Amino acid sequence: MSRLIVVSNRVSAPKDPAAGSAGGLAMALSAALRKYDGLWFGWSGETVEQFTGELNIEDRAGVTVATVDLEPQDVDEYYNGYANKTLWPLFHHRVDLTAYERSYGEGYERTNRRFAEVLQPLIQPDDIIWIHDYHMIPMARDLRRLGVKNRIGFFLHTPWPARQLLVTLPHHRRLVESMFYFDLIGFHTHEWLGLFERYVEVEARGRVSPDHVIEAFGRRVQCGVFPIGIDVDGFLAARDSVLGGKTYDRMAASAAFRSMIVGVDRLDYSKGLEQRMLGFEQFLEDNPAMRGEVFLLQVTPISRDDVDTYQDIRGRLDALAGRINGAYADMDWQPIRYLNRTFRRDQLAGLYRAAKVGLVTPLRDGMNLVAKEYVAAQNPEDPGVLILSRFAGAAEQMGEALLVNPLSREELSEAIKTALTMPLEERIRKWKALMQVVRDTDVGIWRDSYVGALKKVAIRADDEVVA
């Protein structure tokens, strides 16, 4: 049986799966790998003065994890630089926040080469390699240069940007061309795949077949849509665990007669947190009678704190939460509980279950698994309501949620009111439809359908020579 080698920048298989905190990709990969014979390779998250390529190998909850330390310069140029200051904002339609410096691009390519050189000796002839996310786009080309002939798949967890935005990136063609050394490219939604195909048609004069085989740059790659989901049974077990139950009871007692609205997001400008708080403020303005009866619990762990745009948004959110609380709070009520910390997975499940409304309103998001976790955590007899940004990949499947434009505070205000006053039968009807989607896109189904498709792609003969 062939092994599965999963590659991603962030490798964070928790020692105890129930203890994992928010952070969709790593949790999903850890769930996906637990049932496979394989290996998870990536950055250790640590630095070392001089790169040695020495591997740290350990077993974490049944998953073999192999990581490598990077030099501080790699972290600056590859991770903080090209990945998080250039590609992340660009892929999330924030050209205004996109920074490009030549050293970032060079560091990105150097670090990808390093990853490829360290991984190559671990690869056995029958292994299937599955590389994840925008940090590692050029890695297949590097592996091919080292003579690797195995099937190599790529999965993008972020949106793919519109062509008009992507062309603002210097050397955008070089980046896209390197994707043609994969055998299969997966996206979460038809929308992201469509934008990728459009780029290739227009910028590279490529050809797209109806079954998404794309020809360009003298090469050919199979593409497809594979919507990621959560580990449904694992999440339900976390919800029903002792700590999940305790958290539910604690929140139910703390909310008392009030309705809780919950938001859980990394502190990232793509998540629409400012707009969300402003939308909630608008709701308080529009519905004075409901003040004191509802509060927003916003859980927002600090993320990528070395990047200036993340420091800026953090400062703005601190000020905004403080201003709204200062303006509206009463002696026994605070409209926003804003927490910069993580919680265990079982605690989050209990929190979601206690919340009447789940507010998931990113300005742009590859998928968003909080939307699926919120639905899974609900009590089937008395479920809460999901408010979901139409700009999250999840909206392509979760049309039964209350879909909103997160940029409009009036729309947010109205959606919150609708959610809080929705009759029980309607909530149950919507929840059943959404729960079906959550089950249909379980992370195991995502993994098996992607790996199945990768196994079926014919290995191309033209892989050995790479300029």
Catalytic residues: 157, 365
Q: How far, in Å, CA of 287 to CA of 421, rounded?
A: 12
Q: Which stretch binds ligand G6P (CB under 6 A): 21-29, 36-44, 110-118, 204-212?
A: 21-29
Residue 26 CB-half CA count within 13 A:
20
The reply on whether position 133 binds ligand G6P by CB under 6 A is: yes
- 366-to-270, 356, 384, 391, 393 alpha-carbon distances in Å: 10, 25, 24, 9, 5
Reading the block at residue 353, the tokens are 């279950």
The reply on whether position 303 binds ligand G6P by CB under 6 A is: yes
CB of 157 to ligand G6P, least distance (A): 4
Nearer to ligand G6P, 158 or 413 (CB): 158
Residue 128 dihedral angles phi and psi, to the nearest 5°: -110, 135
Q: Count of residues binding ligand G6P (CB under 6 A)?
A: 10
Nearer to ligand G6P, 23 or 194 (CB): 23
Q: Which stretch binds ligand G6P (CB under 6 A): 17-25, 287-295, 370-378, 379-387?
A: 17-25
CB of 249 to ligand G6P, least distance (A): 31
Q: How far, in Å, CA of 271 to CA of 264, rounded?
A: 10
Nearer to ligand G6P, 131 or 354 (CB): 131
Residues 438-457 that bind ligand G6P (CB under 6 A): none
- 96-to-100, 112, 318 alpha-carbon distances in Å: 11, 26, 22
Reading the block at residue 152, the tokens are 């190599």
- 460-to-171, 181, 184, 276, 464 alpha-carbon distances in Å: 26, 10, 11, 47, 9
Q: Which residue's beta carbon is nearest to the bound ligand G6P?
A: 10
CB of 322 to ligand G6P, least distance (A): 26
Residue from 157, 188, 271, 430 binding ligand G6P (CB under 6 A): 157
Nearer to ligand G6P, 10 or 34 (CB): 10
3-state secondary structure 392-405: EHHHHCCCCCEEEC
Q: Where are the alpha helices (DSSP H) in 92-134?
A: 102-119
CB of 327 to ligand G6P, least distance (A): 33
Question: Footprint of ligand G6P on this chain (CB under 6 A)?
Answer: 10, 23-26, 133, 157-158, 303-304
